[in-house]
Homo-oligomer: A and B are copies of this chain.
Amino acid sequence: MPLPPEMARLFTEEKIDFVKRSGLKAEVLEPGRVCLHMPLAGNQNHIGSMYAGALFTLAEIPGGALFLTSFDSQRFYPLIKEMNLRFRRPAASDIRIEASLSGEEITRIQDEAERLGKSDYRLDLQLLDTAGEVVAESCALYQLRKH
């Protein structure tokens, strides 16, 4: 079974110290859909916009957050295999990201991981500032693995 929402939130925001220190917050954690938020405060770079590592973290965590809300966390765990980030413009505000997986895709991934021990899934996402402008685009490849 997927984790209950309050547990998924705790795992998303606090399980990994590196993520907790960034101040990342989960706004939506539903089966198949997550929205996350990264504050600018505490995450500025040398020119006052959001440091690339904070943008990477915001782009990477949806893969794990979707795992928590959508897959059986007793039988599987997720890994990241590859990530590409294109920085489009300075991220001069708090930044949000939304990611989703369809029910069909969730079933496909979990069935394949059950049969073969692993299954890849891909998330192509946009990082948005508070004006709704795309500050960065990510392409990430994850793998669901059977314990």
Contacts and interface: CB of A to CB of B under 8 A. Distances in A.
Given A53-B60, A60-B53, A85-B83, A22 B18 contact: yes
| Chain A binding surface SS class | mixed
A79 B87 contact: yes
A25 to B, nearest CB: 16
Interface of A: 11, 15-19, 21-22, 42-47, 51-54, 56-57, 60, 64, 77, 79-87
Given A16-B45, A16-B51, 10 more contacts: A17-B44, A18-B51, A46-B64, A47-B77, A53-B56, A53-B60, A56-B60, A56-B83, A82-B84, A82-B85
A67 B47 CA distance: 14
